[in-house]
Amino acid sequence: MKQAQALATRVAVASRGVSPLHTVHVTPPPPAAPPATAAAADARQRGEEGRASPSKRTRVYVKRDDLLRTPLNGNKARKLAWLTEEVFTLPSSSLPHLVSFGGYRSNVLPALSALHAHFHTPCHFWTSQPPPHLEHDVCTPGVQFHHPSKRCTWDELEQLAKSHAASMPDNAVFVAGGGHDTRAELGCRQLAQELAHQLSNLPVKAAVVLFACGNGTTWHYTGQHLHRLMATKFPVVSAGVPVALKPHDLIASVAALGPTAVHDAGNSSSGTGNNGGGGYAGGGNSGSSGSSDIDNCSNSHSDDISSCMMSPPSQSSIPVLSLSKDPDACRAWLRDALWPQHHKQSDASRTLQPLEPLERLHPLTATSQSLSHCVLEPSRRYRFGTPHRRLYELWSHWSRCHPDIPIDLLYMPPVLDVLYDLLPLLHAEHNDDDDDQPDVDAAVVLYHCGGLEGVPSLLSRYHHRFKQR
């Protein structure tokens, strides 16, 4: 009897929550540092003028996955939701060891620590660089670290972790680095269902959902299911902002996951296990060889990461758009995606209907995916994990304007950079003269991916680098 009660308690704790959708009133960001050239100064002036007057009829929301009331929060709660279905419904005596790998600053580490605290399951983590004692004695209790004898590539580290899991006497469960796994589709499908219900209740005619992308798993699966669920209501664009990979490497990363498994999303086989660690946001070149400052393992040289991914197709169905370099092309693409001429929205389609079972939804075609998914590049290059003054300014400005919605300092600032360029483009697509119109034309939803545990550590590095006390 006691064992059954303990099992019921663990299942209740592991069950997913529903994160809220909060409205925010966006104000212009602080001005950037003086540009180096006159052409850059003119371009920035035009951008700042557009940013200074965001649309009155473009409403901004934040999907607060940092507030999930589960052992995990943020996108790791979605990516690892399959553990609830496959692992944590077992009796306590049968809980397997969890084995993963990645950089010592990986968000998987606090996730494993939280799972150990709630379920007392042994957790193992392979990393190329020993963790600092002061940080991880607090952030990751219960996680046993393992280190290779010599410096190794991402693929080699993954193989070490898989071999370790296979060699354990009991049935150990391998958790892919960064959650880059086809089994992550289960939690992403749940996220898409929540977003579909919440978006259907908003007074909007179109929506853009912005995802900060490391390896792109959450963006890939959530966006595809969200497009299917909203197909009969209004257009929704899922936009991935590359933070840890160059845009085409990001597309290759999600291509390695393959299409969604509509009929059996939760029981598909494991993915490739790439974490999307190295590279640059904004599509910049890799620059010097070697690793990023923040993590020698998860942010290794971009060639090491790209070598274990599928090559991007020559004619990808996912466009890469630069809001700052080519706003006209972005505006034209958004016009076709959000306000197509053939789309006539009726009041009946605006009412909230029960969600269709996934097996009754049609799969994405190349044409529909090209108008529902895109990659939006930030206005400049940001080397992943390296302190950048502009990112700190964006983070500080948001923190002052929205102290009740804290954000991380690694993934969200590049998304804010894209947001402030996106709003004037949406503003240009409709006429604001009719102030009596009750509906808001468009909504922009920022997906809050969590990661707040790493803010103090990264903030101290910013203060040390820029001497901001």
Q: What pLDDT does 91 receive? A: 73
Q: What pLDDT does 360 receive? A: 40
- In this chain, the answer to whether the domains covering 21-69+184-466 and 72-179 adopt an identical fold is yes
Of 370, 379, 421, give the one whose Cα is nearest residue 283. Answer: 379
Pairing of strands 58-64, 98-101: unpaired
If DSSP codes are grouped into helix, strand and coil, which group holds residue 377? Answer: strand
Q: What is the secondary structure of 85-143 as a DSSP string?
A: HHTTTS-GGGPPPEEEE--TT-THHHHHHHHHHHH---EEEE-SSPPPHHHHHHH-TTE
Domain 72-179 CATH class label: alpha beta
- CATH classification of 21-69+184-466, choosing from 3.40.50.670, 1.10.4080.10, 3.30.110.40, 3.40.50.1100? 3.40.50.1100
Order of strands across the sheet that contains 206-213? 21-24, 58-64, 442-448, 206-213, 236-242, 373-377, 320-322
pLDDT per residue of the chain (469 residues) written in tens, 0 to 9: 444 444 333 433 344 578 999 999 887 775 665 544 444 445 444 444 444 344 456 789 999 999 987 788 899 999 999 987 777 777 766 788 899 998 877 888 888 888 888 888 889 999 886 656 545 544 678 888 888 888 888 889 999 999 999 998 777 899 998 899 999 999 999 999 999 999 999 988 899 999 999 999 999 999 999 999 998 889 999 999 999 999 989 999 998 887 765 433 333 333 333 333 333 343 333 333 333 333 433 433 333 333 333 333 333 578 999 988 888 888 889 888 888 754 444 333 334 334 444 434 434 443 444 568 999 999 888 988 889 999 999 999 999 999 999 999 999 999 999 999 998 888 765 544 444 444 457 899 999 999 898 888 888 888 888 875 4
Of 379, 415, 381, give the one whose Cα is nearest residue 285. Answer: 381
Q: Locate the domains of the chain by residue range.
A: 21-69+184-466, 72-179
Identify any residues that bridge with 322 across adjacent strands, giving them in sequence order.
377
What's the CA gap between 165 and 174, in Å, rounded? Answer: 6
Helix (H) or strand (E) holding 334: helix 327-338
Of 89, 96, 134, give the one whose Cα is nearest residue 116. Answer: 96
Joined together, the tokens standing for residue 245 give 């990979």
Amino acid at 267: N
What's the CA gap between 45 and 352, in Å, rounded? Answer: 42
Phi-psi region of 283 (alpha: psi -120 to 50; beta: other; left: phi over 0): left
